[in-house]
Structure 1
Amino acid sequence: MPATVAASLIRALLDYLQAQGLDRSRLLEHVGLEPTALVSPQRSIEAVYYERLLAEGMARLHNPLLGLEFGMAAEPARWGRLGFLLRHCATLGEALSYQARFAHLVNAIGEGRLLQRANDVVIEWHSSRRVMPAVIEEAFAAWLGFARWARGENESPQSVEFSHRAQGDPAIYRRFFNCEVRFDRDACRICFDPALLALPLRRGDSELTAHIRAEFDQSLRRAASLDTLQALNAWLQTQIGSPPPTLGEAAIALALNERTLQHRLQLENTTFRRSLDEARHTLALRHIADAGLCIGDISHRLGFSEQSAFQRAFKRWTGITPLAWRRRHCRRSAPAYAGG
């Protein structure tokens, strides 16, 4: 599944580039993104468009530090609903923990992991693929910029490390982060004093944050259940046969217990039995299109005990018999197998 970003992040980048003198419509046209895709701020857009916009902005403005500077200008609205949650947290530590937990709903190119070590607290950047430095620098600058905005103070980390080389004058990095900035390190991380976690934010509202956090928790549960359903459907299509796969076998294959699997399917308003039926339906249409397979062979492949049971199921799915479907939809008509 491709990485995504929220439309609100792309809109913020377009606003920033427009303020630098670039034409918004031409930028969208150049990267191949329709303006209508950005109407809903919470909509997920393939991250490649965000990266293309950053690259195009750097090229047109001749500015390799565009990612860093765009991050410096971050405001909570850039992160949509997540920004609204962060701005009302009680402490900086609470905001950072929510940011690490829910940031992928806004930017799934990589993730920031909040780690507590012996002498400091660290936010580390991790990604499953190679990421352009501008993306990482934007994220780091935005995290620090938000902390300063939310605190109303010019907080600074103890140090910042990037795994890539400096994209411009290192002094610019040092002035913004107000600490030592190292390049070509083993990972990308911001290190800061643990005491900063307890610092209060200006607009703390525990009731509001609890309400919004519940919304995000529900979104995460729904995303997990949808991923599980898709994985189950893919697995069923490779396992259907005689005898048909069971709920217990599916749970083991998906590394879940049976109760969790059933609960996630319920969240998608379905059941294991219905998923099995839908997988059989999908495979039945695929096999019927193969004129070299007789109806009896297909019935056996799908795990039906009798050919008549398959024919009844197929008529329930499509309204017609398997042979009638084949004659109507296949270019090359199959022989009139008995019992079709």
Structure 2
Amino acid sequence: MYATTISSWALLIWKALESYGCDARPLFEQAGVDPKRLYDANARYPVTSLTRLWNLATQASADAAFGLTAARFWHPTTFHALGYAWLASETLRDALERLVRYGRILSSAASISLEETAHEVEFTLGSADTRVQPADAAIDAALATILGMCRSSYGSHLNPLRVNLKRSVPADRGAFSRVFRAPIRFGAPQNRLSFDKTDLNTLLPTANAHLARANDRIVTEYLARFDRGSIKIQVESKLLEQLSSGHATQESIAKALNVSPRTLQRKLKEDGTTYKHLLDATRRELAGQYVRQSQLTVNEITFLLGFSEPANFSRAFKRWNGVSPTEYRASSAAAPM
């Protein structure tokens, strides 16, 4: 199955071309990208076509920083419901973790990771398919957009500690310095944004747990439709729906997917996972988000995650994080607001 990109990503290219006074339509047609589908929220384009379009657009604009211009036209809907889940996240760490988990909604060719050291968190963007060589402008636009999203939630004064770009040094570095406002290494082994951990753990004024969860469901439903072959994504989507009922079981998930429990077990095994693993992973991710929300009690979180008793939840949480929910919340609260 060929890799695809969400259509709204191409809309940024169209708007950026217009800002340069370029006629976008012939470039889209030359790249094999149908402009009639730009406003279709469920449409996707082949990554190979988008790569051609990025390169053609950069040539037409005669600006090596074309990707940075395109990033200025970002809107929450560029990332479908993930954009709104991002804005409603508790912290930038939560937001970036959502991007890691659901990044395929933007591009199924993308490889996204989040790693931390003692004082930093590193966001790395690469290609999941070594046969796909992303356009420089596409990477520039993606990292500039992600940084812009961080600033829209945290504040315009947010700056990364460092920026690594695999691309060669552009003739005019000024545009990159103005956007990233951090030391930039060109010709780096990876495309990466490095942040201060304190900034990423700071509670955001736009946080809204209910809105974030609602949009998470929309994202997982979208991905399930997009990739019907991935039973893993379909199970994750149903877990988000059923966990708080306290009755999320392999049998109930199988019924919701119109397959037998045995068939579900077999398909998950073929996908390299198990129901137990997906249940544990989903609970673990949600638990971290919920515990950082001071308005939720341990009893409420126990209910939301489908545990029968608070003690069971607390034991699981300590297994995941090495500390109790109370200790974890205290350490999160100690981060600057």
> How many Å separate the matches in 2 of 1:188 and 1:63?
20
Alpha-carbon shift at residue 144 of structure 1 (Å): 0.7
Q: CA 1:176–1:35 in structure 2 vs 1: closer, same or farther (change >3 Å)? A: closer
1:109 to 1:154, Cα distance in 2 relative to 1, 3 A: farther
8 Å contact kept, 1:79–1:106: yes
Query: How far is 1:255 from its partner?
Result: 5.7
User: What is the aligned partner in structure 1 of residue 45 from structure 2?
Assistant: 45
2 CA distance for matches of 1:252 and 1:104? 19
The superposition leaves residues 25-60 of structure 1 with CA deviations (integer Å, 9 ceiling, x where unpaired) of 223222223333334123221122322221111111
CA shift, 1:14, in A, is: 0.9
1:2 aligns with 2:2: yes
| Residue of structure 2 aligned with 1:254, choices 270, 278, 287 | 270
Q: Distance in 2 between matches of 1:14 and 1:41?
A: 16
Offset of 1:182 from its aligned partner?
0.6
8 Å contact from structure 2 (residues 65, 176) kept in 1: no
Shift of 1:170: 2.5
**Alpha carbons of structure 1 residues 7 and 258: separation in structure 2 relative to 1, 3 Å:** closer
Partner residue, 1:25: 25
Given candidates 204, 209, 212, the residue that maps to 1:206 is: 209
Q: 1:64 to 1:160 in 2, by over 3 A?
A: same
Q: 1:259 to 1:103 in 2, by over 3 A?
A: closer
Q: Report the counterpart of residue 54 of structure 1 in structure 2.
A: 54
Aligned residues: 244
Query: Which SS does the other structure have where 1:107 is aligned?
Result: coil
- AA partner of residue 143 (structure 1): I
- Which deviates further from its counterpart, 126-135 or 70-79? 70-79
Give the aligned partner of residue 116 of structure 2.
Answer: 116
Offset at residue 10 of structure 1 (A): 1.0
Identical counterparts, % of pairs: 21
**CA distance change for structure 1 residues 29 and 145 in 2, over 3 Å: closer, same or farther?**
same
1:288-303 alignment, distance < 5 Å: none
Tell me what 2:219 maps to.
216
DSSP-derived class of the 1:203 partner: coil
2:270 maps to amino acid: L
- Name the amino acid aligned to 1:60: A
Q: Distance in 1 between matches of 2:25 and 2:227?
A: 36
Residues 115 and 122 of structure 1 are in contact (CA less than 8 Å); yes or no, is this contact kept in structure 2? yes
Q: Which residue of 2 aligns with 1:178?
A: 181
- Deviation of residue 190 (structure 1)? 0.9
Distance (whole Å) between structure 2 residues aligned to residue 123 and residue 146 of structure 1: 14
Is residue 120 of structure 2 the alignment partner of residue 156 of structure 1?
Answer: no
Q: Deviations over 1:288-323 (max 9, x none)?
A: xxxxxxxxxxxxxxxxxxxxxxxxxxxxxxxxxxxx
Deviation of residue 122 (structure 1)? Answer: 0.1
Give me the whole-angstrom Cα distance separating, in 2, the residues matched to 1:87 and 1:168.
35
Scaled by the length of structure 2, what TM-score is found?
0.64
Asked if the contact 1:247–1:258 (Cα under 8 Å) also holds between the matched residues in 2, the reply is: no
1:151-171 per-residue CA deviation (whole Å, 9 max, x = no partner) reads: 233200110111221233223
1:190 lines up with 2:193 in the alignment: yes
Separation in structure 2 between the aligned mates of residue 224 and residue 32 of structure 1, nearest angstrom: 23
Query: What SS is found at the alignment partner of 1:136?
Result: helix
Q: Name the aligned partner's letter for residue 133 of structure 1.
A: D
Contact 1:92 1:198 in 2 (8 A): yes
CA-CA distance at 1:142 after TM superposition: 0.7
Task: Please say if residues 13 and 57 of structure 2, whose CA atoms lie closer than 8 Å, have aligned partners that are also in contact.
Answer: no
- Secondary structure of 2:95's counterpart equals helix
Among 143, 149, 156, the alignment partner of 1:146 is: 149
Could you tell me which runs of 5 or more consecutive residues in structure 1 were left unpaired when the two chains were aligned: 230-245, 261-340
Q: Work out the CA distance in 2 between the residues paired with 1:111 and 1:188.
A: 11
Match in the other structure for 1:65? 65
Letter in 2 for 1:85: A
